[in-house]
Amino acid sequence: MTISFEIPEHVQQQADMAKMAAEFFMRPASRELDENEHQRPDIFVQNIWPVMREMQKKTLDKLAMPPTDGEKKPERQSTQNLRLMLMIEMLSWGDAGVYLCLPGGSLGGAAIEAVGTPEQKLRFLRRFAEGEIPSWGAMAMTEPGAGSDTSAIQTTAVFDKEANQWVLNGEKIFCTNGKLALDESDGLVVVWASIDRSAGRAGMRPFVVEAGTPGVKVTKTEIKHGIRASDTASIVLDNARIPADNILGSPEVQREGGGGFKGAMATFDATRPLVSASALGIGRASLEFVKEKLAEESVEILYNLPYHKLSAIQRDVLEMEAQLKAAYLLTLRAIILLDQRQPNNLESAMSKAKAGKVVTQISQKAVELLGPMGYSREWLAEKWMRDAKINDIFEGTGQINTLIVARRILGYSSKELG
């Protein structure tokens, strides 16, 4: 059996477009945007917005297609997530913080696609495909007392029958693009809250909170170690009222089977490989820059000799390349399963755990190999090292994803291995 890793031509064309955006609109502004945290990358947004809108229009058209009766015609396998993976890798090669400012649904859109009804998907995602100006989506789950343990969330949603509204109260922190999403009139944040605290994770539900909702306030934007072009916000919900049909999924609490927690995990299964793709882009930027600087010093990387005949630097570079390729292949597998609409919980966690660890190691090794100049702000290597670490933290830490992998392989539940 032959396995081909060749990228389809129409997918490669989109990746090439992303490369142009990375080279012309991201890399040149990378240092300035890093030094001026939270400055919106307007030139990048203006140039990438038409492309993103067209991509989202195609997604919307597919969602709007009525079901066909009778015999189905064979369809070409979807490449939607493969295209997204390669685009994110290339844009993160340009600048990971700027990439996170990409207009569109982002994590909020992923949550809507994962657990929303067909009507909700069309209603909420339409703004990202048909809006006149760029808009953003975000997802808010983490709280001051609830990080990896999502069952500990304190934000509540109470249904007001008279008003036919949900009333949300609580505080969310570390919300990527939270300020961007709430600053624009068409933005939204998917907020995870409990409709029944006694039910634990089964009582969790996602709610679409639209920009301009009274009682919703951004109280803080974090000053961060890396990805400084993007905002990471704290959001307070103080008796925030939203329409009854802005809840994603059923409001009925089923204590068996995970309830709303399954929706959260379905969202992460879709988004973790995309975080892995971002890590790959930073790792590739670091590796390519090291090889470029070594070539300037006439240090050749040899591939036809055993390790014991190579210098320490040559061995380091080969190890960096091998680890990056391993992370790429794991990410590719998780993405292909997603495009095939196959379960990818194990593969998604594997790719995220591997890529987060690998990009941290590669970017640190790059700074080490480049010496004092690698640590200086004259080159971008030190910035890539700072940007890299977040990929091992958000969307589930490396430790949490390793735990998920262990549970899936060994067949343990969270109660048995937690």
Q: Rounded to an integer, what distance in angstroms lies between the CA atom of residue 381 and that of residue 371?
A: 11
Smallest CA-to-CA distance from 205 within 217, 220, 195, 219 is with 195
Distance spanning both ends of the chain, measured CA to CA: 39
Annotated catalytic residue: which of 119, 288, 395, 416?
A: 395
Best CA proximity match to 189, nearest among 276, 261, 124, 119: 124
Give, as one character, the DSSP assignment of residue 143: B
Is residue 392 a contact partner of residue 356, using CB atoms and an 8 Å limit?
yes
Spell out the residues 6+ positions from residue 173 whose beta carbon is closer than 8 angstroms to its own.
142, 143, 144, 234, 235
Q: Take residue 329 and report the two structure tokens written for it.
A: 């292949």
162 counts as catalytic:
no
Q: What angle do CA 263, 264, 270 make, to 5 degrees?
A: 90
Closest to 394 (Cα-Cα) out of 271, 304, 308: 271
d(CA 118, CA 137) in angstroms, rounded, equals: 18
CB within 8 Å of 350: residues ≥ 6 apart: 330, 334, 401, 405
| Whole-angstrom distance, CA of residue 370 vs CA of residue 372 | 7
| 224: DSSP letter | -
Q: What residues are annotated to the active site? A: 395
